[in-house]
Chain A
Amino acid sequence: GDSVTQMEGPVTLSEEAFLTINCTYTATGYPSLFWYVQYPGEGLQLLLKATKADDKGSNKGFEATYRKETTSFHLEKGSVQVSDSAVYFCALSDSGGGADGLTFGKGTHLIIQP
Chain B
Amino acid sequence: DVKVTQSSRYLVKRTGEKVFLECVQDMDHENMFWYRQDPGLGLRLIYFSYDVKMKEKGDIPEGYSVSREKKERFSLILESASTNQTSMYLCASSLAGLTYEQYFGPGTRLTVT
Chain A interface (Cβ within 8 Å of chain B)? Answer: 8, 32, 34, 36, 41-46, 49, 51, 89, 93, 95-102, 104-107
Contacts of A45 in B (CB 8 A): 104
Contacts of A49 in B (CB 8 A): 99, 101
Check A44/B50 contact, CB under 8 A, given A89-B42, A99-B96, A104-B42.
no
> Are B99 and A43 touching (Cβ within 8 A)?
no
> Are A106 and B106 touching (Cβ within 8 A)?
no
Closest to A32 in B: B99
How far, in whole Å, are A51 and B31 apart by their CA atoms in the complex? 19
Shortest CB-to-CB span from B14 to chain A, Å, is 26
How far, in whole Å, are A34 and B45 apart by their CA atoms in the complex? 16
Closest to A30 in B: B98
> Are A43 and B106 touching (Cβ within 8 A)?
yes
Contacts of A97 in B (CB 8 A): 97-98
How far, in whole Å, are A80 and B20 apart by their CA atoms in the complex? 40
Contacts of B50 in A (CB 8 A): 98-99
Closest to A8 in B: B40
Contacts of A102 in B (CB 8 A): 43, 45, 102
Contacts of A98 in B (CB 8 A): 50
By secondary structure, the A interface counts as loop
Chain B 4-23 interface residues, beta-carbon cutoff 8 Å to A: 4
Contacts of A100 in B (CB 8 A): 45, 48, 56
> Are B98 and A96 touching (Cβ within 8 A)?
yes
> Are B97 and A101 touching (Cβ within 8 A)?
no
> Are A101 and B105 touching (Cβ within 8 A)?
no
Contacts of B41 in A (CB 8 A): 106
Shortest CB-to-CB span from A61 to chain B, Å, is 20
Check A101/B98 contact, CB under 8 A, given A43-B104, A43-B105, A45-B104.
no
Closest to A102 in B: B102
Shortest CB-to-CB span from A41 to chain B, Å, is 8
